[in-house]
Structure 1
Amino acid sequence: MPKQVDHAQRRSEISAAVWQVVSKSGLEGLTLRAVAAAAGCTTGMVTHYFRDKKALIAHARSVMHRRMADRIDAMPRRETAWESLYAVAEQALPLDEERRLEAVVWSHFLLTTRTDPELLHEHTVSHASWVRRLTGLVSAAVPGQPEPSDLEAQVRSLVTCLDGLVLNAVTDPETYPPELQRRVLKTQLNLIVEGNHSL
């Protein structure tokens, strides 16, 4: 009788191998052969689940997005809207090994989208979801007032701050250690929230 293959388990193993390769070699080193070697299987097995390098890249990005979303959804309820906003925004920062690897994948993926319309679409969809989540949190953090007229600009400034922190922390972690990342994020959030309270 043929051996039953657990496709979900096999795909999970290959997915973990994708992350392992990106962590060590970046997206430029992400090849079907490298993933097969990391997963301990044949290249043919990898292509059964992922047709080419682009599929591997897109999958790595989607896993990164899902992992971050799962962490956010599992977080306990915070006492204040500001604390909720901070807790969610902080998940984007490379403050530990798991998030550092996610940040590496994200930064490599972002550069790849410049020349690939399909991957750019993947980025646009997930980025829009992230902006919507932050928009609701920023709006809630300014209670008792009408929605700020420049809410979109404030959220974009927060996103830009986060993106800049991620890129700098990935490329120069000694200059941008976790404590500095947290301090910069808190400063940015206070500028947004306290600035609205002063209106």
Structure 2
Amino acid sequence: MPIVVDKKERRAQVVAIAFDLVADEGIEALTFREIAAANGCSTSIVSHYFRNKNELLFKIYQVANERARDRLVAAHERRLPLLRCFDAILPVDEPSRRNWRVWLAFWSRAHLEPDYLEERRRAAEDSLALYRSMLAASLGTDAGTPAMEVAARRLLATVAGIGLEACFAPDDWTEERMHAVLAGELSDLGVGSKS
């Protein structure tokens, strides 16, 4: 009797292994052979789910965006203070640091390749909508105002800047410093530390 394989689960497993390899070793080191070895399967299994390395790489980039958004939404749904919600994105723990390493590996592609640029734009628009909603809920105001658009863009730039700096200078950008800078921006936007 043939073994029943959950194709969706197997594909997700291949992506998860490839994601970790990119986070640990970068894009250039990623090969189907390395993924297969880490997964304990043949390269034909990997190529069954992805036609080529570029298709797999694009999926990894999408997964990095999805993971960050899902973590942030979950934190917000748990009604954590807004400052603590952003721990889901800022590089304060190993999962978020890995996500940042994957993002950094792909940002040059977002600058040069239309598909990556479009995914970057989509993720940014998604983030802005989420940030507007989170800020409006914290401030008890309408998310659709021009002021909330500006506030969400300020928050997006602040979170991205803090995360980027923390990746390059982790000893300087401690969790406490990340929180202090983000708390300052949130305060300027009218969000208190308890919100």
Using structure 2 for the length normalisation, give the TM-score.
0.85
> Structure 1 residue 168 and structure 2 residue 161: aligned?
no
Shift of 1:34: 2.4
Q: How much identity, in percent, do the aligned residues show?
A: 30
Deviates more, 1:139-148 or 1:174-183: 139-148
Residue 79 of structure 2 aligns with which residue? 78
> Structure 1 residue 16 and structure 2 residue 13: aligned?
no
Q: Residues of 1 paired with 2:38 and 2:109: CA distance?
A: 22
Structure 2 unaligned regions, length at least 5: none
Secondary structure of the residue aligned to 2:140 is coil
Q: Residues of 2 paired with 1:146 and 1:126: CA distance?
A: 18
Q: Residues of 2 paired with 1:166 and 1:104: CA distance?
A: 10
Residue of structure 2 aligned with 1:110, choices 83, 107, 110: 107
Matched-pair contact (CA < 8 Å) for 1:114–1:120: yes
1:35-69 Cα deviation digits (max 9, x unpaired): 22222222221111112222222221222233233
**Which amino acid counterpart does residue 127 of structure 2 have in structure 1?**
W
Shift of 1:8: 2.6
1:125-181 Cα deviation digits (max 9, x unpaired): 122111100012223333369976443222212111111111111122111121211
**Which amino acid counterpart does residue 21 of structure 1 have in structure 2?**
L
Residue of structure 2 aligned with 1:134, choices 131, 135, 148: 131
Structure 1 unaligned regions, length at least 5: 195-199
**Which amino acid counterpart does residue 16 of structure 2 have in structure 1?**
A
Change in 2 beyond 3 A, CA 1:53/1:89: same
Deviates more, 1:60-69 or 1:145-154: 145-154
Using structure 1 for the length normalisation, give the TM-score.
0.83
> CA-atom RMSD, angstroms?
2.5
Secondary structure of the residue aligned to 2:67 is helix
Q: Residues of 2 paired with 1:171 and 1:57: CA distance?
A: 23
Q: Residues of 2 paired with 1:193 and 1:117: CA distance?
A: 37
> Structure 1 residue 40 and structure 2 residue 37: aligned?
no
**Which amino acid counterpart does residue 182 of structure 1 have in structure 2?**
H
